[in-house]
Structure 1
């Protein structure tokens, strides 16, 4: 039985680099060692030891190779803890009274401030988590599940305030904790953990996408969310992840985008009305990208509005609450404007975006994203100076938190504005994007 969570920092770091299995880590280690001129290899067993609750301190060669693999990240930030000389003889000694797994877990959590976004938890919460992980069958209960939900919602708020890169460590920590605890939890608690896990995996996919991670990393977390939703017999969540996969699809792969959105709407499940409305809107966008006639695109958008009209009143959006609880008319119409832009109707897109951005209440991330699309629609409509000025407004919202999708749309706008590259406003926008830190 698991004693307490393993080295979640190491697991999170290798997942961020696309090494989805311990075998991937061993292969990457061999490649980096060869590049450094070190004839060193490791086994999956060694990787498993590094990901255990007691990873030890790597030897000199391993420290060198790990430094290269993880871009110079300090080994302490990967969960390794060097032993002080006075502690060497205690390395194999069982812990004394009062220094067992629970206390070690708590002290390690407070020290690193990363596992489960530990700043969210008071001392009693950390004690409860430690007890739950030490003996999951006995202690894993709704109290723990509630704390995991709260941690996930706080990670989502962090993303909204400061961007995906600040929220990723907590999200990955939550996933690692659920994966570890669920192995030994009772069936009822395991179901609840998988429900939170599906939400956390989908959110982690979103964060990676917005942070600019490669598509296979995003897909890995989407697939994990679908796995947990399927095991939990949660058809609505399964469909919602298909919608998110459709939203993550590249514009150049519009056929796949349409297939995913269509499956989300028409599969063997029932989406809540607000989620159904967003999925229909996404299908309409894919239809526009694949050259479907504008009147058919408009018909699908009408279906989205009809679905939204059937919904109960909107609620504050959270990561663990009802699916798409905050999806409202302003957001649907802003997304509809994007559909019209994709269908070659930029003037209509400009009109809708101006109307709903001026009157709607959008979170900073959404306002940055839709303002960036407004800049692109203005550029496509032949209004380069206004497009550039609008783009700079979007950049002010997106730059500090590094909202990746908004920045991506601004770069797309600059491409559309190439024929006007000599104009002062266009040049200012291009230069501002060029000097933006990666």
Structure 2
């Protein structure tokens, strides 16, 4: 990869706005267009990834012809950077467009490793070339964006934030662009959808290891759009998600945010209300509250869930708020609360009983498994803790599930006194190798 590779968000946004939600979709559409034009060049998903990551910045001649036919614009407008030419040979219009794109990219784009830190103004600039090109009417665009956002959230649970984040950012750019010219009713729907997407972007940035300001930016954007759309429940839900994103070393802020989600001038639906109460219980445990007080708040969470209507179907990012919050999830998260309250044996019992059910997505299994390993370590079971940690690591490593890996590092620190045990030593070695590779 070039030393200063910069992700090509122009290309990401343009392909998402045209309905190619994934890199696989785009590669298939490219090959279809190449066959239609009788071009010999074909591409793989790997090549799409190289273009979008900035590893490859200028397509070959055949690929440029296909891309121009697909998008109806010069490839420079898709964010590709023409190789440097001797002074005086660059064409005027294309060179000016390229320089403007590079200036804006330097102005708005920051990197944390391979993680983009983009604000909304930057994203809007990167979709300027694609505005007005969506097929069908505005209502069809809304349906398309909703489906694309659900796909991005589903991809996160399966393969991790680094794969889902580019698509989510492209969707947000398209939403912001469309909302500027939409009539009032559609604008409110777009902003409500944007609030869901911005909250997802905050989570993806956090799990991908972005700096705290990037996570906070998208939480604030989600709250603003929820307010403009008149979606009070979503505004409260963003407070809950901010509480979940708060580091465990700042338990008082976590508690304040979780309480605000349930006590402000809004009404959370029963399922996210149960989740907010569970988050309050965890924050209380972290502040040193007694196990009885933690248990009482968890009882309130179970009572809230008792009042919830049955899920309307498979939970999605754009469906009923908090529909994915089930009894199983509450019980496993209760185990986390008991672990924080120093009741390791109780936490181990709950984890052991409910993690083996197979109802959680890979990302959640990795995170809960990492928490389980930490509870086992605290309960004085280093070999079992190392085994559970290895299972979690096998899920988290390839997809780079950031929160799971952070918990595994916490487990590794707890197991350090037992490093002479073969299972512990092997886990800590594997985790160390992963950190070095990343």
Query: Does TM, scored on the shorter chain, surpass 0.5?
Result: yes
Instruction: Give the whole-Å Cα distance in 1 for the aligned partners of 2:323 and 2:53.
Output: 40
Is residue 434 of structure 1 aligned with residue 432 of structure 2? yes
The 10-residue stretch of structure 1 (380-389 or 78-87) with the greater mean CA deviation from structure 2: 78-87
Query: In 2, distance between residues paired with 1:9 and 1:229?
Result: 25
| Per-residue Cα deviation, 1:373-412 (whole angstroms, up to 9, x for no partner) | 1100000011001100110011111111111111111110
Which of 189, 206, 213 aligns to 2:210? It is: 213
For the residues of structure 2 that align with 1:388 and 1:286, how far apart are their CA atoms? Answer: 27
Quick one: distance in 1 between partners of 2:139 and 2:94? 36
Distance in 2 (alpha carbons) for counterparts of 1:12 and 1:224: 21
**8 Å contact 1:364–1:397 — kept in the other structure?**
yes
Corresponding residue for residue 79 of structure 2: 79
* Count of equivalent residues: 339
Task: Name the CA distance, whole Å, in 2 between partners of 1:79 and 1:386.
Answer: 50
**Selected match of 1:345 from 331, 343, 346:** 343
Quick one: distance in 2 between partners of 1:406 and 1:361?
17
Listed as ranges, the gaps of 5+ residues in structure 2 are: 1-6, 14-51, 59-75, 96-126
- Aligned counterpart for 2:362 among listed residues 351, 360, 364: 364
Aligned partner of 1:186 in structure 2 is 183
- Assess if the C-alpha contact under 8 Å between 2:11 and 2:79 holds in 1: no
CA-CA distance at 1:183 after TM superposition: 1.2
Distance 1:311 1:204 in 2: 27
Q: TM-score, structure 1 length as denominator?
A: 0.72
Separation in 1, partners of 2:129, 2:382: 61
Mapped to 1, the partners of 2:343 and 2:83 lie a distance apart of: 65
Contact 2:8 2:80 in 1 (8 A): no
Cα distance in 2 between the residues matched to 1:299 and 1:156:
33
Q: 1:92-171 alignment to 2 at 5 Å?
A: 133-134=131-132, 141-171=138-168
* Distance of aligned partners of 1:341 and 1:80 in 2 relative to their CA distance in 1, 3 Å threshold: same
Shift in alpha-carbon separation, 1:276–1:87, aligned structure 2, 3 A? same
Preserved CA contact (<8 Å) 1:242 1:261: yes
Cα RMSD between the aligned structures? 3.0
SS in structure 2 of the partner of residue 417 of structure 1: helix
- Residues 65-119 of structure 1 show CA distances to partners (whole Å, capped at 9, x for unaligned) of xxxxx99755559814539999947759xxxxxxxxxxxxxxxxxxxxxxxxxxx
Normalising by structure 2, we get a TM-score of 0.72
For 2:137 and 2:8, the matched residues in 1 are separated by 19
Matched residues in 2 for 1:404 and 1:152: separation? Answer: 21
| CA pair 140-414 structure 1, distance change in 2 beyond 3 A | same
> Is 2:229 the partner of 1:232?
yes
Who is 2:33 aligned against? Answer: none
Equivalent in the alignment of 2:303: 306
| Residue deviations 1:327-359 (CA, integer Å, cap 9, x gap) | 111100000000000001011000001111123
Residues in 2 aligned to 1:291 and 1:217: alpha-carbon distance in whole angstroms: 30
Q: Are 1:333 and 2:331 counterparts?
A: yes
The equivalent residue for 1:274 is 271
Deviation, 1:292, is 1.0
Match of 2:250, SS state, is helix
